[in-house]
Structure 1
Amino acid sequence: MSVQGKKFISPGVWFSLIYPSSWNEFEDAEDSFLFYNPNKWTGNFRISAYRDDINNEYGKESVDYELKENKNASQVKLGEMICAYSKEMFQEEGAYYVTHVWITGFDNVAFECTFTVPRGNSIEEAEEIISTLKTYPKGTLPVLEIIPIRVLEINAVNEAFEWTSNTIKKQLKKDFTSVEEDIAKIQQLIESGTFKPQQREVWESFGIAFGTILENQIDGMEWITVIKGKQEIPALRFKESELLIYPSQLVWNSVRSEQNCDLNAIFEDIKQKVEKELN
């Protein structure tokens, strides 16, 4: 089985999977990742991963253990993945649902995947996702991977926006709504002398807040997650082009190299690059 869609790489680069293009990732419990179609709900797919840095047979042993201990589990193969599969039905507000469970893994990583659907619904979407699972051996880091923005980076963008918005409100008595006129407000804070050069989080937050203006004011600019070696950061990409912008680095790089940071000039330069892409 194979599935065309969006790629997800776990924080820390443990594993990757492909999920349907119409689905998104959503906030879930810690160390668990939730995906579903927000426009036409067909089920909740969750995945948790567990790694044993000593035992390279941990994935296989986890499947064998589930098959031995769970009398309702049966062995199924999805792509290259050998799974221990079971299911259980429950009732909620008068409707019946089924949670399908797959324990799978290989090398030193084990996965628990669940797909909760209305009773009778197909589980093919979940089976296809599981068939795409791949692990990254310890010490193997991607040279460059561009994936849809993860919940982790969405939260980082939202926190930077909120902090910048609150700081502007507090210090300048003005609102911040991610429009072009707000560039001057961030610039004013950068030049205020209030913040020390070594306060990296401050400068990164200003950069990300500037990024929210880019996304809001330039049609086709979208947040993504870029995984580059040990870096896992939110970035902006113009449509499907190679034009990548790293907002968290824009202001911080200028501050740490003791250079002037002119956000208006950066904004105009990015607009020109977008024009070149369009032409």
Structure 2
Amino acid sequence: MIPKLLILLLIVLVVTPYANAAPLSDKTGLKFTLPVKTDGHSFIVEATGNLDVTNLDFDKEEKSITLFIQSSLENNSLEISFPNTLIGGDYTILLDNDEFIAEIQTGSNVTFVTMDFSGTGKHKIEIFGTTYLDFFEIRDVIDFDISDGYVDDIEGNQSTNSLIFTLFEPGDDGKLSVQLSDDVITPFDDGSFIVLIDDVESDYIIENDNIIINFDSNSQQITLIGTYVVPEFYEIAPLVLATSFIGLIILKKYKKLFV
């Protein structure tokens, strides 16, 4: 009985992956999911290979991703994927402080870096970009005008289909005018919107495709609610990245069918 239990325990130890890794296939090895949080934004860096990724460092000043590797094999294969908005532009890859020529494929949202290199033990991989947090801000596509005050921030909330304008130094005769566009926010079926000023429903008028909202010096936040609001990129980045990886895994699994 005891030998059987020992054999079962050994099998479990062999097939159980690291806590932060998930096995994909014999060819691709382990997939590591590595979160990066910087300047209020969250991103995911993925690494897939026949080795262990022990840690990740991100340096926004250097615009760099650093992976620390531990390998027990002589021939190593690694694929790294990250959103272009985290770092982008022209890339430079270093392996153990020496420049490395990797295969780089940059899509509209995600960059893939593929590396094959030799050597057991510890390795350090550094990926340097030339841009950082280069992504679409929702205020860049909203045409608005404000008098007797300033707009400090604009947030698009998909869960409530709303645009939230945070005010700064509002005056008693304040007026916010937002040009309406279905690319940004769409109205209800009757063409109306809901406007809240500090969570209290307020009146508005629509003139020449502009919604005009009056506010006073006590106003802090104006919320415009419709049936759809355009998402900011960092809200959809995890979904885009996950979709890209599903396609990548399927392609790798069935690649031999196309050769």
TM-score (norm 2): 0.25
Relative to total residues, which structure has the larger strand share, 1 or 2?
Answer: 2
Say which one has the larger Rg: 2
Relative to total residues, which structure has the larger helix share, 1 or 2?
Answer: 1
